[in-house]
Amino acid sequence: MHPLMRALTATVGLGAAGLGYASLIERNAFVLRRFTMPILPRGADPIRVVQMSDLHLVPRQERKIQWVRRLADFKPDLVINTGDNLAHMEAVPAVARALEPLYGIPGVFALGSNDYYAPNLKSPTRYLLPDSRITLNEDRRLPVGELIDSFTREAGWLHLNNARGKLSVGGLDIEFVGVDDPHLDRDEYAAVAGPAAGGSDLFLGVVHAPYVRVLDAMAADGVDAIIAGHTHGGQLCIPGYGALVTNCDLDRGRAKGLSRWWVGANGVPSSEAPGGAAYLHVSAGLGTSPYAPVRFACRPEASLITLVPRS
């Protein structure tokens, strides 16, 4: 065989092997990430938080359902769901079955675009655009009312779409502020803006898509931490380089994991942002669109975040 043809054949073979790994192995290789946030009052007992995001659940995904059910084994004190639970018109019962062991634990949720609209068939290359907006198809509206009803009535969780609320967790009064999905421009932070009320021990922000405008607004109001999802951690990453895109205006370096967010300077400390900062945690999430069922160098994940006293 000619050397050029041999090289081409090898390249095609490696590409096929990589695609097979990304679609058959890694997208089902769920992992629990562990983080620690020192944001509690001194002397408080630690609080264990399970965050899940971007389930994108299809009823047939039994392996994912069973993995999510086992999150209750970690005995969290608080559950935070940051949206994009659905990927099928009939997925609400499957989501309820996956999360049922966590129902009854204090929890909050904010919705994402794929709680409102089912995904459409499109080129997977669109995920490589910096901010790939979804096409709103009214014929593909998901049963979001059923999802909200399951989370509020059956689970007893706080609905944080452009809303505030309080929960008592581990003997502490935790105040929350949240917005509806910024990726669909449904966020109305001005309607819920403001610092924590008196007597709150902790102030947390919750949002699906971590757009800079929302992060700045929440941090300016003094939240201790912001919990988000949406990015899929980049979904297709390059080892040693990381995410190619975040699917919003967040920088690639924060596509997943824990960081600090300063107001007014794209999250980084500078003379323009001399004040304090909020912690920011972005989950890479547990799923993919059924039309782009691949992950590479970015395993699907949930997070166990342990809140501990400030030093």
Give residue 6's pLDDT: 55
Least confident window among 6-20, 125-139, 238-252: 6-20
Half-sphere exposure of 87 (CA within 13 A, CB side): 18
Cβ(273)–Cβ(263) below 8 Å: yes
pLDDT band at 275 (very low <50, low <70, confident <90, very high): low
Cβ(281)–Cβ(255) below 8 Å: no
Q: Which residues contact 151 (CB under 8 A, 6 or more apart)?
A: 81, 107, 109, 157, 159
Q: Which residue has the tokens 């309607």?
A: 191
Q: pLDDT at residue 14 above 50?
A: no
Give residue 10's pLDDT: 41
Q: pLDDT at residue 165 above 70?
A: yes
In the CATH scheme, what architecture does the domain 3-309 have? Answer: 4-Layer Sandwich (3.60)
Q: What angle do CA 261, 263, 265 make, to 5 degrees?
A: 90
d(CA 128, CA 232): 12
- pTM (whole model) above 0.75: yes
pLDDT band at 198 (very low <50, low <70, confident <90, very high): confident
pLDDT tens-place string over residues 74-118: 999 999 999 999 999 999 999 999 999 999 999 999 999 999 999
Give residue 157's pLDDT: 98
Q: Which residues contact 189 (CB under 8 A, 6 or more apart)?
A: 162, 179, 213, 214, 217, 218
- Average pLDDT in the chain: 90
Q: pLDDT at residue 152 above 80?
A: yes
